[in-house]
Amino acid sequence: MLEDTDTVRNVIVCTLCSCYPYELLGNPPWWYKHDSYKQEIITSPKKKLKEMFKLTVPASVEVRVYDSTSDIRYMVLPRRPEGTEGMSEKQLGRLVTQESLIGVGDPQAPVDESK
Find out whether 101 and 25 touch, Cβ atoms under 8 Å. yes
Query: Which residue out of 18, 60, 88, 114 is catalytically annotated?
Result: 18
Active site residue 17: yes
Using the CB atoms, write b or e for 57-88: b if 16+ within 10 Å: eeeeeebebbebeeeeebbbebeebeeeeeee
Cα–Cα distances in Å, from 65 out to 52, 74, 84, 104?
16, 10, 27, 11
101, HSE (Cβ side, Cα atoms, 13 Å): 17
- The reply to whether 68 belongs to the active site is no
- Annotated catalytic residues are 14, 17-19
